[in-house]
């Protein structure tokens, strides 16, 4: 669903007849909380450069690096200016730009690596990313985000 006032939601797969939903029931609470944060203000730290800048326009991958292993969901903030679209590598991705920042929610049906692909108009500048919130495999928010970072690559 694309709606300028509500951001963009991408689902990787639909359940189909006789299949379970792509998002586990407990993740809906984490997703709802992250979604509310997504629609909230985008203030906070600027973040740190997450890697050398790629050259030209194109697609880059972002990946949450966790000191705790597989995770259930994450809320990230990135520079909005170069981002043209966000596509999921995981089950569900929500994104919303506000000013010069974009919030991205990544949710997995089962805990694992959280990642997505960003299509960038211009990739010559460093992409700054900040980890805002992380939910573990049981959908509990991590109280300490020390050691978490966002990796940007091809």
Q: How far apart are CA 107 and CA 135, in angstroms?
A: 9
Mean pLDDT on 24-41 = 52
Least confident of 19-33, 48-62, 122-136: 19-33
- Are residues 62 and 150 in contact, defined by beta-carbon separation less than 8 angstroms? yes
Contact status, residue 63 vs residue 114, Cβ threshold 8 Å: yes
3 versus 76: which is more confidently predicted?
76
Supply the pLDDT for residue 123. Answer: 63
Maximum distance among all Cα pairs of the chain, rounded to whole angstroms: 47
Q: Is it true that domain 20-153 has CATH number 2.60.40? A: yes
Report d(CA 104, CA 95) in Å as an integer. 4
Q: Is the pLDDT of residue 1 over 60?
A: no
Average pLDDT over residues 61-79: 94
pLDDT band for position 26 (cuts 50, 70, 90): low
7-18 pLDDT, tens per residue?
444 444 444 444
Write the CB contacts of 131 (distance below 8 Å, at least 6 apart in sequence).
64, 74, 75, 76, 145, 148, 149, 150
Q: Is the Cβ–Cβ distance between 108 and 72 less than 8 Å?
A: yes
- Residue 100 pLDDT class (50, 70, 90 cuts): confident
Query: Domain spans of the chain?
Result: 20-153
% the chain with pLDDT above 70: 61
């Amino acid at each position: 669903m694309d709606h300028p006032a509500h951001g963009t939601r991408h689902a990787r797969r639909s359940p189909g007849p006789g299949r379970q939903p792509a998002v586990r029931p407990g993740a809906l609470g984490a997703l709802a909380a992250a979604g509310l944060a997504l629609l909230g203000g985008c203030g906070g730290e600027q973040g740190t450069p997450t890697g050398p800048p790629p050259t030209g326009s194109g697609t880059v991958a972002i990946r949450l690096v966790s000191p705790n292993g597989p995770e259930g969901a994450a809320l990230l903030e990135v520079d909005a200016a170069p981002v043209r679209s966000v596509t999921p590598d995981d089950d569900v991705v929500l994104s919303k730009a506000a000013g010069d920042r974009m919030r991205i929610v990544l949710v997995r049906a089962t805990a694992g690596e959280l990642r997505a692909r960003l299509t960038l108009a211009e990739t010559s500048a460093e992409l700054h990313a900040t980890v805002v919130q992380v939910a573990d495999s049981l959908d509990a928010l991590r109280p300490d985000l020390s050691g978490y970072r966002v990796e940007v690559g091809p």
